[in-house]
Amino acid sequence: MLLDLLRSAEVLVTTSWTFVVENSYRLIQNVATNSTANIRIIRTVCSGMIHPNIIIDALTQGADGVLLCGCHPGNCRSREGIRKAQDRAEAIELLLEDFGLEPERFRLEHISASEGPKFARVVEQMTEELTALGPNPYGQTP
């Protein structure tokens, strides 16, 4: 079921704690709705719980990019989650190279609930980068 959600043009994975304030969640929905990109928002408990295989599966099944948003270091509710996410991001970057995918197709960002404008800017930047890269080669039908 999660992989079905991940098969969109651009996937945004956020933690529930990052956007715990309902107004912030409405903001990310608004950014996704008003963006020209096809963005799928998936809320998780902790960015550190996202295994690299989930990100790689999304990309090898056609998602143009994955943006993983998590807590700022030092503000992680689970204490170790963001460190784990950072370690996994390094592994994901190596896997992207193995699969022949550009590193710009994955991004880990530290965004708190009070940083709505930063969130909007990051989504816009990533959307522009992915547009410049073109469609994911794994998503194209032979």
* pLDDT, tens digit, 9 for 90 and up, residues 60-76: 988 888 888 888 887 76
pLDDT at 28: 60
Q: Which helix (H) or strand (E) holds 98?
A: helix 81-98
| Helix, strand, coil percent values for the chain (each to nearest 5) | 50, 15, 35
Q: Which helix (H) or strand (E) holds 67?
A: strand 65-70
Tell me how long the chain is.
142
Contact 28, 20 (CB under 8 A): no
pLDDT at 105: 93
Residue 122 has pLDDT above 90, yes or no: no
* pLDDT, tens digit, 9 for 90 and up, residues 93-113: 999 999 999 999 999 988 877
Is pLDDT larger for residue 111 or for residue 2? 111
Is pLDDT larger for residue 22 or for residue 10? 10
pLDDT at 69: 84
Residue 21 has pLDDT above 50, yes or no: no
Spatial distance between the Cα atoms of 68 and 18, rounded to a whole number of angstroms: 11
pLDDT at 4: 43
Q: Which amino acid is at 41?
A: I
For residue 128, give both structure tokens: 């522009």
Spatial distance between the Cα atoms of 67 and 69, rounded to a whole number of angstroms: 6
pTM of full prediction above 0.85: no
For the chain, which domains are there?
Answer: 2-139 (3.40.50.960)
